[in-house]
Amino acid sequence: MARLNVTPVKSTGLQHPDRIRLESFGAVGNRDFFVVDEGGRMLSTSWKARLLPIGSSYDPDEDRLELRLPDGVVAAGPASAGGEPLTVDFYGRAVAAHVVDGEFDGALTRFLGRPVRLARVDTPGAGIDVRPVTLVSLASVDELSRQGGSAFRVDPGRFRMLIEIDGAGAHEEDSWGGLRVRVGEAVIEVGKPVPRCVVTTLDPETGVRDFPTLSVIKRYRGVSAGGELPFGVYADVVRAGTVRVGDPVEVLG
């Protein structure tokens, strides 16, 4: 296990803890908060890019959230979601949530230059995009860099995968579809490849476009039958457990 990537607030800067707890819904505390527009809709991809440089941290013992904006503003306070109830479309899934009261909305609105609100999912884990776990091998990212034809080394963080692994070949994870894989104490079942979007062309810390990720993937990997550009894989949690950086990754079959 090379690196773990989580964030309490969807689309904000990633954190790299030494360990996570995997439950059936995914990593505990991952992406439970998210930003919506005035009408309670998820922000478009172009606006999500503005969220990448924002740092966020959540203290579960105090139920306290902190946002650190690039302009130096820090918004912090209780994270209880006692505001307006919302039903938000998460890529075709209806997700129940409530607005988080406090100073978060004002700070985010001033930074983004448009009215937005901070919300929290009602059910832990409901803030995932599609499946509870995403996984990519560092060899796959290195191959993407090589195929890009320059000395630029792609930061795997731009793919925002929950688990990054080493010791596997380039795109070896694609061959694990339908197989069970032990990651630390947990066991996952690998599913379909993850279709990539324009966010992967952005530096994961600044949000600035710096690499033609999609065109490079298309050139050397092609397009899937569904017209998508695959990179990395989804997975479901078969057995819950703690996953630590440095844990072995074993394909069970």
Q: Coil, strand, or helix at residue 69?
A: coil
Q: Tell me, what's the pLDDT at 46?
A: 81
**pLDDT at site 107:** 96
Torsion of Cα atoms, 173 then 177 then 179 then 180, to 10° = 60
Confidence at residue 88, expressed as pLDDT on a 0 to 100 scale: 95
Residue written as token pair 């979601």 = 81
The stretches in the chain having pLDDT less than 70 are none
pLDDT at 129: 85
Residue 220, amino acid? Y
Q: Which pLDDT score, from 0 to 100, does residue 82 have?
A: 86
pLDDT at 133: 98
First and final CA of the chain: distance in angstroms? 19
- CATH superfamily placement of domain 133-251: PK beta-barrel domain-like (2.40.33.20)
Range list for CATH 2.40.33.20 in the chain:
133-251
β 230-239/133-137 pair status: antiparallel
Q: How far apart are CA 29 and CA 7, in angstroms?
A: 8
What integer pLDDT is reported at residue 47 of this predicted model? Answer: 86
Q: Write down the pLDDT at residue 216.
A: 96
What does the pLDDT read at residue 77? Answer: 95
